[in-house]
Structure formats: structure tokens, C-alpha cells
Structure 1
């Protein structure tokens, strides 16, 4: 397979079998190099992890479920180092190229999976989403991105980053393919439609007014009532993002502490700095952040409890160029976390998809109650976003 988009890890091919028939038998599967696949190493975007990996004898249960449903494995894809970024870069293995616009970042950390699907080298991209690593690259590459209800999919044989937020997720080019994936991994069907779509004014104020108008127009096309609320939470988006980042950094340090202590020089400077930030957090800071997460989760339950779905923009700003200065990349990451953290803090599912008739990287997201993943798909179909 020609990989001019630099989406895949350059591993020698190994035989990965799949069922001859099944609901996914017509679809090709690309797997983020965070999941074990028998016959391959698992590098997690790290040269040091790769060196210690060895060839894995067993395949991660979630990957095996997809293979048993007939999906054909086409390779392991690149990821940001330790899956700890939203940009898509990697000093060890290179940055995949965004097929939609090669001048832009591909988004991360599921960069390779998203690029493989966007370039039509795969139909299903399996990745992970901790702080937006499925939803952001889906938006940047014009794809459908699904972050499932936290804890609903099997995460064994998956290298962790921050377990409180880590979730396996998927990217596809179509809602139809994503619906097939949802069914294949055992997502319960939705029994009814939500009563209305909620728009939080403080969220839509974070984006350009013309883009916001197009998003609202797209929502109205579903012929569903739209309910407006002033704010999604009693806390500001900035406070929520800070709590999320505190928990993320604390757990990322615990997940990678041994690696850092053994080979700090083998980790990219920006990733190492983020890990060190987590090491400096005290227990009181982390406890306070977890209390905020619990409070926000309760607020989301109250907001969406009456069979509602929250609509929000996937990205807070346009993605930067792939050669942008570190300060620009950091500003983009910081702005986007304010929206992307909401699903992580609440554990709720989120479905991101391109907005019809919206130029650039217009991507709308739907966030629903826990275990309400299929409801989001039903609403997305009504919005006719593709």
C-alpha cells in the first residue's frame, strides 16, 4: 500500500486474520499504535516504548471484535508521542499529512488513523480519545468522530494515558459506516428521539459568529425544537478546562513515570515538560479538580436528563499550519480544550461531524447522556450533515 500521507507505522506486515463474513466485512480497519495487535509491536508514538515492546502475542479484545465482525486490518497508525497531544506531530516518526489541506496540522493524537481514513486508505480508524484525540482530528480532516460513553468499550491491551478520561474511539468518512461500527461493538440501539436540542450561549460565543449562525441553521434543519440556555455550567469553561487538565496531567505522570525516570532524554521536550507539570501537582489540587469534575457531571445529568442533546462546535478555532510556531500550537490546544474537556469530565458520549454547506473546518458535535450514543447518531442523521 502506498502511504504518501505518512499515516502508518513502517512495520513489516504480519498476518492478521479476520472473519470472511460479517457486518464489517466490506470495511478496512486502521488501528492506532496504542492497541496491541498480534504480530506487531506497540510503540505508543515513542522510540523508547518501541524498543521495549517486543512483538505482541495477543490482539486487544476491541480490535479482535472488529476483526471478528469482518473488518480487514490494513496497518497500525501513527500517534502523537504517548498519545499526549492534540496536534499530530511526532519527533520520532514524523507528522502525518492532512489530505484535506496539507498545509494544516492533521490533529492528534489519533493522527494516523484520521489521515488513513481521510486519504481512503482505510474505512474505519480506531483510535483513542482522552482530551479530544478522536474528535479534533475528525474535525480537522472532515470526518465523523465518535467518542463513546466512557467505560463502555473494552480497553484491555490499550496503553493508558489518563484512565479517568481514556476512551477508545472511531473515525469514519460517513455516518453510515459509523453506525455499522456502533452496532458491531455492541452499542445499544436508541429507543426514542430526544425532545429537543440544547444550545448553551457561552459555548457558541467562543466561535466566529458566521460559523455559529451556520451551525444553528444546520440544527434547525432537523425540524427539532431548539432550547437555549445561558451557560452549560455554573463554572466557567476556563475553570472546567483547568480542572480537566489538572486530572489529565496527574494521571499522565502516573502512567509514564517509570518511562520518564528511565529515559527522560528519549521523550520530546514538549511532552516531557507536560509530564513534569503533572509530577509537581499536589494531592489537594487533584482532589479539588476531581470535585469539580463530579459537580459538572451532575450538572450535565440535570441539563440532559429530560431526554435532551447538547449541540456544540467541535473546535474553538481554526487549526494552525503544520509548521506553526510552538506558541500558536499551544494557543490552539488551550482554546480547544475548553470545549473538548466537557465530554471527558462528564463521561458522556460525543459525536462530531462536518457541517453541511460550511466552508473550512466547520464541525458540529452532539453530546448526550451516558449510554445515549445511538441517540446522537439518530439526531446526526436528521441533521443531514454529510
Structure 2
């Protein structure tokens, strides 16, 4: 297959079978190179991990579920190194090219899966989402991105980053295949309508006024009552992001400590610096972060009780150019994590999708209570009028 977008890892093809008939029949599947696929190595975006991997002899159960549902495997896709970024770059294997706007970053860490879908090379991109690695590239590439309820999908034979936040996730070009994927992986059907859609004014105040107005106008087309709230919790977005980042860095260090200590020069300097930050965290800082997480999770449970859905902008700002300076990437990552961390802290599902007939790179998200994943698609269909 021709891949001018650098979406796929350059592995030799291996035979990967799939069911002839099933709910995903006719749909092509790309798999992020964090999941084991029989006949392929698993590199996690790092040359040293690739060298140590060997060819896998068994299939990640979630990948097997998709194949058994009829999806046709096309290849393994590029990822940010160790899945530890939101930009889409990789010094070992290169940055995929954003088909929507080649001057912009593709977003990460599920960069290759998103680019493969956006370029029309596949219909379903399987990736992972820890701090936004599905939702951000979906937004940047004009796609649907689903971060499932934490713990709802099988994550065996998936290389972790921060296990208490990591979830497998998916990108598609439209809602129809996303709904089919949700059904195929066993998400419970949504029989209820949301009681209301909640707009947190403190979050919408952080983005451009014109964009916020367009988002809110689009929400009214769902036919669901719209309510406003000053804030979703009595904590600032900065405090929540700090708690999230503290836990993320500690868990990322624990996951990658052996790799770092064995071969530190094999990790790019920016990723290595983040890993070292996690190694230096004080235990009291980490305990305090977990307390904030527990408190926020309880607040979200209370807020979303009774089929309430939260509406959020997916991104805090426009994505930078792929040739931007590292400081620009860092500012973008920091701003976006303040919004993207919320579903990780709450363990909740989030669905990102582009706003129909809206100029620019505008992605709206719906955020629901745990296990309300398919309700989000139901509401998104009403909003996008596919």
C-alpha cells in the first residue's frame, strides 16, 4: 500500500485473518503500534523497544475482537515515542503528515491511526488515549474520536504508559462506523435520551468567543434542554491539570523505568526529560494529586447524575505548525491538557467530533457519566445530522 503520509510503520506484511461476515465487514482497520499483532513487532515508537520486541505470536484481545467482527487489518501505525506526547512527532520514525492541512501537526500520540483514517487509507483507527491521544489528533484531523469509559475495553497485550489513565480508543471519519465499533466491542446500547446538556461557562470562556458561540448554537440543534453552570468543580483547571500531570508522570516513570535505566540514550531528550520529572516527584505530591482526583471524580459523578451530558471544546487553542519551535509545542500541550485531562481524572467517556458547516478547525466534545458511551454517539448524531 502506498503511504505518502507516513501513517504506517514500515513493517513487512504478515497474514492477519478476519471473519468473512460481521458487523465490521468491509471496514479497514489500522492498529497503533502499542498493541500486539501476531506476525509483527511492537515498537511503541522507540527504536530500542523495537529491537527488543521480536515478532509477536499472539494477538491483543481487543484487536482479535475487531477481526472477529469482520474488520480487515491493514497495518500498524506510527505513534509518538512511548505514546508520551500530544504532538505527533517521533525522532525515530518521523512525524506523520496531516492530510487535512500538511502544514499543521497531526496530533498524537495516536498520530498514525488518525492520519490513516483522515487520508482514507482505513475506516477505523485503533489507538490509545491517556491525556488526549485520541481526542486531540481526531480534532486536528477533522475526525470522530472516542475515548471510552476507563476500564471498559480489554487492554491486555497493550504497552502501557500510565495505567490508571490509559484506555484503548478509536477514530473514524463519520459516526456510523464509530457506532458499529462500539457495538462490536460490547458497549451497552443507549436506550435513554439525556436529560440535559450542560455548558460549563468557565471552560467556554477560555476559548475564542466566536468559536464558543458557534459551538453553543450547534448544541441547540440536538433538541435537548441546555443548561449552564459556572464551573464543573470547585477547583481551577490549572489545579486539575497539575494533579493529572503529577499522576501521569509518576506512572509513566514506573512504566518506563527499566527502559530508561538500561538505555537512556535511546529515548529522545524531551521524552527523557518528562520521564525524569516523574522520577523526582515527592510521594506527598503524588498522594495529594490522588486526593484531588478522588474529589473531582465524586464531583463529576454528582454533576452527571441522571443522564446529564457535559459539552466541552475539544482543544484549548489552534494546533501549531509542524515546524514550530519546541516552546510552541509545549504551550499547546499545556493549554490542551487543561481540557483533555478531565475525562482521565473522572474515568469518563468523551466523544470528539467536528462541527458541521463551521469554518476553521473546530471540534466539539460530549462528556458523559461512566458507561454512557453510546449515549454520546446518539446525541452527536442529532447534532451533526449525518
Q: CA deviation at 1:357?
A: 1.6
Q: Which moved more, 1:246-255 or 1:302-311?
A: 302-311
The answer to whether structure 1 residue 67 and structure 2 residue 81 are counterparts is: no
* 1:293-327 alpha-carbon deviations (Å, 9 max, x no partner): 00000000110102100000000000000000000
What SS does the aligned partner of 1:181 have?
helix
What SS does the aligned partner of 1:221 have?
helix
Distance 1:83 1:119 in 2: 21
Distance 1:170 1:75 in 2: 15
The answer to whether structure 1 residue 342 and structure 2 residue 342 are counterparts is: yes
Residue pairs, 1:1-386, within 5 angstroms: 1-384=1-384
Task: Give the direction of change, closer, same or farther, for the CA distance of 1:180–1:126 in structure 2 (3 Å limit).
Answer: same
Q: CA deviation at 1:361?
A: 1.3
What SS does the aligned partner of 2:222 have?
coil
Distance 2:185 2:224 in 1: 29
* 1:43-78 alpha-carbon deviations (Å, 9 max, x no partner): 000001000000000010000000000000000000
* 1:214-253 alpha-carbon deviations (Å, 9 max, x no partner): 0001000112110100001100000000000000000000
CA RMSD of aligned residues (A): 0.6
Distance 1:335 1:384 in 2: 27
What SS does the aligned partner of 1:4 have?
coil
Question: What is the TM-score when the length of structure 1 is the normalising length?
Answer: 0.99
Distance 2:79 2:307 in 1: 36
Q: Is the 8 A contact 1:355 1:385 kept in 2?
A: no
Distance 1:24 1:54 in 2: 30
Q: Is the 8 A contact 1:32 1:110 kept in 2?
A: yes
Distance 1:307 1:100 in 2: 35
Distance 1:279 1:260 in 2: 11
Distance 1:385 1:167 in 2: 28
Q: Is the 8 A contact 1:146 1:352 kept in 2?
A: yes
Distance 1:118 1:356 in 2: 16
Distance 1:204 1:254 in 2: 35
Distance 1:88 1:340 in 2: 16
Q: Which moved more, 1:375-384 or 1:2-11?
A: 375-384
Distance 1:229 1:210 in 2: 19
Runs of 4+ with >3 A deviation:
none
Q: CA deviation at 1:385?
A: 6.0
What SS does the aligned partner of 2:171 have?
strand
Q: Which moved more, 1:301-310 or 1:153-162?
A: 301-310
What SS does the aligned partner of 1:169 have?
strand
Task: Give the direction of change, closer, same or farther, for the CA distance of 1:164–1:385 in structure 2 (3 Å limit).
Answer: farther
* 1:323-370 alpha-carbon deviations (Å, 9 max, x no partner): 000000000000000000000000000000001121221000000000
Q: How many residues matched?
A: 386
Structure 2 unaligned regions, length at least 5: none
